[in-house]
């Protein structure tokens, strides 16, 4: 399986770091903010990082189609089969614009509807999280866009009681607040982008409810890291979150249902 190949894994780590370098070149200067057809923001960082990632994936795995956010926004949506990549060149563009550091470069590989490999790089923080189903997850410290250290990570076991619940900085909803209210005494941790999955993968949080819109490229990489670390991502009905085109036209075929990500099984509540 390509997702489990060590050489490909290390090459994708290098690609993710290269994309993060491009993102930081924009972040450290003045940049304009545009808006796409769905009113979501986009900057030159999104566009340039996606160019870097797509070029590398075309070289490394030309046989695997890539569903990438900015390409899809421009109507370039490939036909996918059993294997495909999901790419979000800057997840957390609102965090990028506000310069709070909670944005990531995301590359996820899906096999038969399951995210089996994920790379989540927060270049402003120097943190890269990576995972492969069956082979575990790790945290890499990045200094000057080079790997300086790496360590294995896993979810907290057992989960803390009351749980530590992650809440989105930019996308909190009343339904999310209703979910949180089911856990009296829970501590809340605010975080942006796919870092929420990674904090659970590292044992630093227990639950992440998302009762609001997300796309598959937002979640696949972080989902893979979390699953590789021993966690799970489930729909509100309890099924594993699945990947691949579903109902809807165009980009809407890659919309996620509401979900709850779990770093470890919480002993009470939903």
191-226 tens-digit pLDDT: 878 999 999 999 999 999 999 899 999 999 999 999
Binding residues for Mg(2+): 69, 88, 90-91, 218
Q: Give me the CATH number covering residue 40.
A: 3.30.540.10
CB 229 within 8 A of CB 153: yes
DSSP E strands: which ranges in the chain?
34-35, 41-42, 66-68, 83-91, 104-111, 114-122, 127-132, 136-143, 146-153, 164-168, 187-191, 207-210, 232-235, 259-262
**Across residues 143-161, what is the average pLDDT?**
91
End position of a domain, from candidates 153, 185, 214 = 153
- Pick from 108, 126, 153: which residue ends a domain? 153
- Provide mean pLDDT across the span 177-192: 88
Distance CA 116, CA 5 (A): 12
Query: Is 269 inside any structural domain?
Result: no
Residues 131 and 234 in one domain: no
- Are the CB atoms for 240 and 261 separated by under 8 Å? no
**Each residue's pLDDT tens digit, 86-110:** 999 999 988 999 899 999 999 999 9
26 and 110 assigned to the same domain:
yes
Q: What tens digit of pLDDT does each residue of 217-255 get? A: 999 999 999 999 999 999 999 999 999 999 888 899 999
Q: Tell whether 187 is covered by a domain.
A: yes
Angle at 209 between CA 203 and CA 211, to 5 degrees: 160
Q: Contact 227/233 with Cβ under 8 angstroms?
A: yes
Identify whether residues 54 and 180 lie together within a single domain.
no
Q: Alpha helices of 61-194 — where are they, by DSSP H?
A: 69-73, 93-98, 174-180
Do residues 174 and 251 both lie within one domain? yes
Tell me the binding residues for substrate: 69, 90-93, 218
Residue 82 resides in a domain? yes
267 domain-assigned: no
pLDDT value of position 266: 60
The verdict on residue 159 lying in a domain is no
Q: Do residues 122 and 228 both lie within one domain? A: no
In a shared domain, residues 146 and 237: no
Q: Dihedrals φ, ψ of 144, to 5°?
A: 50, 40
Residues 201, 135, single domain; the answer is no
Is 213 within a domain?
Answer: yes
Tell whether the model's pLDDT for residue 268 goes beyond 50: no
103 and 181 both lie in a single domain: no
Question: What's residue 245's pLDDT?
Answer: 96
For residues 72 and 112, give the distance between their C-alpha atoms in angstroms, rounded to a whole number.
Answer: 21
Identify whether residues 16 and 134 lie together within a single domain: yes
- Give the Cα separation of 222 and 86 in Å (integer): 11
Number of domains in the chain: 2
**Does one domain contain both 142 and 20?**
yes
**Which CATH number is 185's domain given?**
3.40.190.80
Q: Are 121 and 19 in contact (CB under 8 A)?
A: yes
Pick the most confident of 127-131, 184-188, 234-238.
Answer: 127-131
Last residue of a domain, one of 132, 153, 174: 153
For residues 125 and 253, membership in a common domain is answered with no
pLDDT of 121 strictly over 50: yes
Q: What DSSP letter does each residue of 228-264 carry, written as one string?
A: HTT-EEEETTSPBP--S--SSSGGGGGBPPPEEEESS
Structural domain contains residue 270: no
pLDDT (0 to 100) of residue 265: 64
Look at 31-45, 109-123, 194-208 and tell me which has the smallest mean pLDDT.
31-45
Considering the domain boundaries, does residue 205 fall inside one?
yes
Q: Which residues are annotated as a binding site?
A: 69, 88, 90-93, 218
Are residues 129 and 256 located together in one domain of the fold? no
Q: Which domain holds residue 253?
A: 164-262
């Amino acid at each position: 399986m390509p997702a489990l190949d060590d050489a490909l894994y290390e090459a994708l780590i290098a690609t993710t770091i290269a994309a993060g370098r491009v993102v930081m070149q924009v972040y450290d200067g003045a940049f304009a903010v545009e808006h796409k057809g769905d009113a979501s923001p986009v900057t030159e960082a999104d566009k340039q990082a996606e160019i870097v990632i797509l070029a590398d994936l075309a070289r490394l795995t030309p046989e695997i189609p890539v569903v990438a956010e900015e390409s899809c926004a421009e109507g370039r949506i490939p036909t996918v089969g059993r294997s495909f990549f999901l790419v979000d060149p800057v997840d957390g563009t609102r965090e990028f614009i506000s310069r709070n550091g909670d944005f990531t470069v995301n590359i996820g590989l899906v096999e038969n509807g399951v995210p089996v490999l994920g790379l989540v790089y927060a270049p402003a923080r120097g943190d890269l999280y990576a995972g492969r189903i069956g082979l575990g997850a790790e945290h890499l410290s990045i200094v000057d866009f080079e790997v300086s250290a790496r360590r294995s990570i896993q979810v907290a076991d057992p989960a803390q009681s009351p749980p530590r619940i992650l809440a989105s900085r930019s996308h909190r909803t009343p339904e999310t607040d209703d979910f949180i209210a089911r856990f009296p005494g829970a501590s809340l941790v605010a975080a942006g982008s796919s870092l929420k999955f990674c904090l659970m993968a590292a044992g630093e949080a227990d639950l992440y409810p998302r009762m609001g819109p997300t796309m598959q490229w937002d979640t696949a990489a972080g989902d893979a890291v979390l699953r590789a670390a021993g966690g799970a991502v489930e729909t509100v009905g309890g099924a594993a979150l699945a990947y691949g085109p579903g109902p809807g036209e165009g980009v809407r075929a890659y919309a996620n249902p509401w979900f709850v990500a779990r770093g470890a099984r919480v002993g009470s509540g939903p």
